[in-house]
Amino acid sequence: MTLRNILSTLVLLALSQQLLTQPAKAHGGEDHSHSPAPLAQATGEQPRRLSDGSLYIPKSAQQLWQLRTRLVTAAQLPQQIELQGKVIVDPAFAGLVEAAQLGVLSAGPDGWPTLGQSVTAGQVLAYLQPVDTTLDRSNQQALLAELDAQIALAKDRVQRFSTLGALVPRNELTTAQIELKGLQARRSFAAKGTGGGIAVVAPVAGVVSTVFKQSGQVVDSRDALFQIIDPAQLLVEALAYPALPAHGGLNLNADSHASARFPAAAESQDSHAFSLSFRGKSLQLQQQAQPLWFSIDNNKPAATQDLTVGQPLLVEVATGKQINGMTVPRSALQKLDNGETAVWVHQAAERFIAQKVRVEPFSASEVVVVSGLHDGDRVVVQAASLLAQVR
């Protein structure tokens, strides 16, 4: 190699090293080393989770899953609180049948009552045969014997007075006849107390809800026999805790309304919701809570026809205050792996991101998002559970 070639090679190496050691310059003379990273891009027809945590859901998958979104708008909304409640019987349309005295039960004219059997007010459900001791029976028989003797004497006196005719004053004959009728009535009532069954009747119309005893069983006085309720006349009892600031703001009256739903969370739970009307509240605390009674509005008979006494419910009641937020359906709420509540926000045509939110109850089918969303966000309200399964 000639000297000239060696010098050319050294010059080229020096220039290359100088270019490599200079800082990178962006076009326009600006340094973009601290600019935010661009959004992760994805293409294809396969739903998947991107590196930034968002989801890529192609249009074909959105149509297949029937994803639906809603544009949320901030507004002033009435504040609601959620109370634990349960279904109870209306005392005006329910009856508890108890035994009047010690006795043995036997079936009524329509047989022994069964669960769900419809009954009318005054219908005979069973008979109660009193249980008497040997002393009671002997005293009863002695009383009947004494009354029989007095009746025989009274009959003889009436007969003699009638035979004597005008020799006996009219008032004495009338008195003897009245005494005879009185003794016969006493004897009739005394005889009913021996061997006669007492009819056990239904106090109200409805259906037999509970059967406590069975035919042939010996029961004591005030033992419960049957419970009868009217399934169309049920109440909802909710417990409000006055010690809590939110609950202390309740201002309910006869025009106040509330809503109830079943605790089980499902996307179709709004079909199981029904409205309530305030009935009254107790002036005594029960386990540090104030019971509230609500009557069930029959605006959704399909949701209330399967209610059972004691069934737990969640009751939403207005506090009379206002809050700022955006309403979304309960079906839009999802639980993250760490237990936090989130909704899926539709950020782009095929891009979705989970946004943590803080919510408060609003109605049986909706909640109010008080933080985590912005006015104008588009939230997934149908098939949101399918997005959480994308990996």
Q: What is the pLDDT of residues 23-78, one digit of tens each?
A: 444 343 444 333 444 445 555 678 888 888 888 989 988 889 999 999 999 999 88
Look at residue 267 and give its three-state secondary structure.
coil
Buried b or exposed e, range 278-316, using 16+ CB within 10 angstroms: bbeeeeeeeeebbbbbbebeeeeeebbeebebeeebbbb
Residue 248: pLDDT band (50, 70, 90) is very low
Say whether 339 sits in a helix, a strand or coil: coil
**Side chain identity at residue 139, one-letter code:** N
pLDDT band at 194 (very low <50, low <70, confident <90, very high): low
Which pLDDT tens digit goes with each residue over 299-310? Answer: 666 566 678 899
Question: Which residues neighbour 68 within 8 Å (Cβ) at sequence distance 6 or greater?
Answer: 380, 381, 382, 383
Q: Provide the pLDDT for residue 294.
A: 93
Phi/psi of residue 299, each to 5°?
Answer: -85, -20
pLDDT of residue 87: 94
Strand partners, 85: 238, 313
- What pTM value is reported for the model? 0.64
pLDDT mean over 107-124: 93
How many other β-carbons are positioned within 10 Å of the β-carbon of residue 93?
A: 17
Containing H/E element for 348?
strand 341-348
Rounded average pLDDT over 10-21: 49
Which residues fall within 8 angstroms of residue 189, CB to CB, at 6 or more apart? Answer: none
- Beta-bridge partners for 367: 328, 361
**Average confidence (pLDDT) over 166-182:** 85
- At residue 328, the pLDDT reads 92
Average pLDDT over residues 360-388: 88
Whether the per-residue pLDDT at 383 is higher than 60: the answer is yes
Assign 7 to helix, strand or coil. Answer: helix
Rounded Cα distance between 324 and 245, Å, is 18
**Residue 99: its pLDDT value, please?**
93
Where does the pLDDT of residue 20 fall: very low under 50, low under 70, confident under 90, or very high at 90 and above?
very low
CA distance linking residue 315 with residue 210, whole number of Å: 27
Neighbours of 222 (CB within 10 A): 9
The predicted model gives 368-377 an average pLDDT of 92
Going 79 to 82 to 87 to 90, the CA torsion angle's sign is negative
Is there a contact between 198 and 130 (Cβ–Cβ < 8 Å)?
Answer: yes
* 289 residue type, one letter: A
Q: What is the pLDDT of residue 218?
A: 93
Highest mean pLDDT, choosing among 19-23, 158-162, 257-261 = 158-162
Interatomic CA distance for residues 262 and 260, integer angstroms: 7
Indicate the average pLDDT of the chain.
81
**CB atoms closer than 10 angstroms to residue 76:** 8
Phi, psi of 159 (to 5 degrees): -65, -40
pLDDT bracket for residue 95 (50, 70, 90): very high
What is the predicted pLDDT for the residue at 34? 36
Q: What is the pLDDT of residue 104?
A: 92
Domain residue limits, the chain: 61-89+233-387, 93-130+196-229, 134-192
Mean pLDDT of 375-390: 89
Which class would CATH give 93-130+196-229? mainly beta
> Which residues share a beta bridge with 103?
130, 219
Residue 212 has pLDDT above 70, yes or no: yes
Identical fold at 61-89+233-387 and 93-130+196-229?
no
The size of the chain, in residues, is 391
CATH of domain 61-89+233-387: 2.40.30.170
Q: What is the pLDDT of residue 209?
A: 93
